[in-house]
Every structure is written in C-alpha cells, then in structure tokens.
Structure 1
C-alpha cells in the first residue's frame, strides 16, 4: 500500500481525490487534510496568507499519523504566488515540518510537462489576469513556455467549484491553439478528474489539470508510477505498476 498525503485548501473540488483513488487501484491511498484558507479570494495578498507556513504546518501532524509517504500542498495559486524561489522555500519548509518528501501543485505542473516532453503550453486559468500572469511567469522559470494564457476572472474557489464539464471544456477550447503541445488548467478548486480523457479526445493533445498533476506528483515523490488511462496521457507513460 502506498499512502500519499495532500494538504487541500478549504472545500471546493476535494471529491476529485476519492475519484482518482478509485481509478489508481486498490494499493494507493490518497489522504486529504483540509487547511484553513482564511479569505477565499484569488488575490495576491489572500493567496500569500493561504500558503503561509502556519496554515500548512497545522495539517501536517494529521498526515504524519495517516502513514503518508509524501505530502503535496494541493494548491496552485497558493504556491506560485510566491515565485519560483519562494515556492521552493515553501516546499522545503513543508518537508521539514512533515519529515517527508514534499512538493506543491505548481511544481507538479512543471514536472508533469517535463514527463510528457512538452515545452509549449496553453494555460486556461480560472483566475483574474494578474494571478494568471504569475502562473505563466512561474512556468517560464521552470522552462515551460506558455504560448497562450486565458484568465477567467473568477475571484473565489467556491465559484470555481461549481463549474461542470461544459465550462471546463469551453475554457480548454478557448485557450488551445496549434502551437500548444498541451493544455494546462491550473486550479485545484476545479473539478476535472472525471473529464480528462474526454478533454484530451476533444483537443487531441495532453491536458494537465491541477488535481491530476498533484496526485501524479505525490506518486513521483513516492517512487511510484501507475497506469491509469482514465486520468489521461500523464498516467499512461511507461507504467511501472498496473492499476488493479
């Protein structure tokens, strides 16, 4: 059994995790601990507070008790808002606090793009323009080039969590273009776990979504690869372990 831990901000699309656990097979457990987000706002000051060490540390002990082998801060905006160096510091502090390998959703996007061998991507963000631009800058710092970025201007995670397949597909289509090798949808408040194969079929290219790459990153930290085609192209590359 591989147990993986996730610090998830508030309550929006956390039901993606039990869905993904089911798709991964019976020997992978995804343990989600909710962190206090403070103010629900895609605004730089609120996001910096959301990702503060105090808020992350508060959930660590529960994850340690669950037997998790790795921990991921399951938040994109609450990590990239710190910039590349700041987000590295955030992850190092989390690793020290947890005594476990650690990462965040922002780094998961960069590592997932590297895994798929893609460098030019389209970004369909739920965020306001200024926050979406910070994610684009983070990707560039990691060697991934956003060829198009579309911001949806949504302020709260609560509103993002109400989106269904039609809205997600519309966003992905709106930002996609011939120069993009993959489409990135960076918000863990967005329900995507049930939609990834359909999105990839519609667009004809890999689609990387926040909760999907977060789980993949945790598996990477734990030295596991699982073949789970229902979670998209990212989970079908050179599998080492067949999902049951």
Structure 2
C-alpha cells in the first residue's frame, strides 16, 4: 500500500481525490488534510497567506501519522504567487516540517509538462486575469512557453468549485490555442477528474488539470508509476524525466 498525503485548502473540489483514488487501484491510498481557508478570495494577498509555512506545517503531523510517503501542497494559486524561487522555498520548508518528500501543485504542473515532453502550452484558469497571468509567468520562469492564457474571472474557490461539466468545457475551449501542445487547467477548486479523457478527445491534445497533476506528483515522489487511462495522457506514458 502506498499512502499519499495532501494539504488541501478548504473543500471546494476535495471530492476529486477519492474519485482519483478509485481510478488508481486498490494499493494507493489518498489522504487529505484540509488547511485553514481564513479568507476565500482569489486575490494575490489572500493567496500568499494561504501558503505560509505555519499554515502548511500545521497539517503535516496528521499526514505523518497516517503513514504518508510524500506530501503535496494541493493548491495551485497558493504555490505560484510567491514566484518560481518562492515556490521552491515553500516546498523546501514543507519537506523539512513534514520530514517527507514534498512538492506543490504549481511545481507538479512544471514536472508534468516536462514528463509529456511538450514545450508550448495554453492556460485556462478560473482565476481573475491578474492571477492567471502570474501562473503564466511562473511557467515561463520554469522554461515553458505559454501560447496563451485565459482567465474566467471567478473571485472565490467556492465559485469555481460550483462549476460543472459545461463550465469546465467552456473554459477549455476558450483557452485552447492551435499552436499549444497541451492545455493546462490550474485550480484545485475545479472539479476536473471526471472530464479529463473527454477534454483530451475533444481538443486532440493532453490536458493537465490541478488535482490530476497533484496526485501524479505525489506518486512521482513516492516512486510509484500507475497506468490509469481514465486520468488522461499523463497517466498512460512512459516517464521521460525523473527529476
């Protein structure tokens, strides 16, 4: 049994995780600890507060006791707003607090793009434009070319979490670019686990979503490789990178 630990802010799309667990197979366990969401706002100042070392450290003891082999900060915006170097420092502090291999959703997106071997992506975010642009900047700092970024303007995680299939597909269509080799849908508040293969079929390219790459990243840290076609191209490829 491989136990994976996640620090998830609030509850907006937390039910994606048991869904993903079911698709991974019986020897993978997904454990969530819900971190404090003192203010549900898609503003840079509020997002910075989400990922402070004190908030993240508060949840790691429960994950250690559950036997987690790796821990991932399951929040895209709360991990990219500090910038590329800030995101790496955030994860170093989390690993030290947890005594476990650690990462974040934003870094997971970078590793997943490299895994797929693509260079140019499009971004479809539920965030306001200014926050979506910060994610695009984060990707560029990691050496990834961003062909386009589309922000849908939601102001809270709860608003994004209330979206259904219609809204998620509309976001993907609005954000996709012909020259993009993959489409990224950041935001762990979005319910996407049930839609990945259908999105990939419609767009004709890999689609990376926040909760999907977060779980993939935890598996990578735990040195597990799982074939789960229902979770898209990322879960059906041979690894291209190990770092």
TM-score range, shorter chain: over 0.9
What are the Cα deviations for residues 159-193 of structure 1, in whole angstroms up to 9, with x where unaligned?
00010111111110111121000000000000000
Q: Give the aligned partner of residue 103 of structure 1.
A: 103
Q: Is residue 2:185 matched to residue 1:148?
A: no
Secondary structure of 1:178's partner?
coil
Q: Give the aligned partner of residue 130 of structure 2.
A: 130
CA distance in 2 between partners of 1:177 and 1:88 (Å): 29
Secondary structure of 2:38's partner?
coil
CA distance in 1 between partners of 2:174 and 2:132 (Å): 15
- Runs of 4+ aligned structure 1 residues displaced above 6 Å come to none
CA shift for structure 1 position 119: 1.0
Q: What's the TM-score, normalizing by structure 2?
A: 0.97
CA shift for structure 1 position 13: 0.2
Q: Is residue 2:53 matched to residue 1:53?
A: yes
Q: 5 Å matches for 1:25-174?
A: 25-174=25-174
CA shift for structure 1 position 238: 2.0
CA distance in 1 between partners of 2:41 and 2:10 (Å): 12
What are the Cα deviations for residues 43-89 of structure 1, in whole angstroms up to 9, with x where unaligned?
01100111111111110100000000000000000000000111111
Secondary structure of 1:67's partner?
coil
Q: Is residue 2:222 matched to residue 1:191?
A: no
CA distance in 2 between partners of 1:141 and 1:99 (Å): 28
CA distance in 1 between partners of 2:58 and 2:80 (Å): 20
CA distance in 2 between partners of 1:146 and 1:30 (Å): 31
The alignment's C-alpha RMSD in Å is: 0.7
For structure 2, which runs of at least 5 residues remain unmatched after alignment? Answer: none
Q: Is residue 2:227 matched to residue 1:227?
A: yes
